Structure 1
């Protein structure tokens, strides 16, 4: 079914975005923006 495949893809993309967002938030929390990138 195309619908089931689409749901699987959406779930995979959503999980990837959540994991990446968590990593970015963690890095931002561990490294305060007072370095050369500030």
Structure 2
């Protein structure tokens, strides 16, 4: 069970880090906050 969980976390971590999905919303949030 722990092996599967570790594999899932490792598989999701690099995919999210490689894809500009996490930094995009943060950037938009900062831009919107600064606009106000």
Shorter-chain TM-score category? Answer: 0.5 to 0.7
Number of residue pairs matched?
25
Unaligned runs of 5+ in 2: 28-36
Find the structure with the greater CA-based Rg.
1
Q: Runs of 4 or more off by more than 3 Å in structure 1? A: none
Over aligned residues, Cα RMSD in angstroms?
1.9
Higher relative contact order (CA 8 A, sep 6+): 2
Give the TM-score of the pair, scaled to structure 1: 0.52
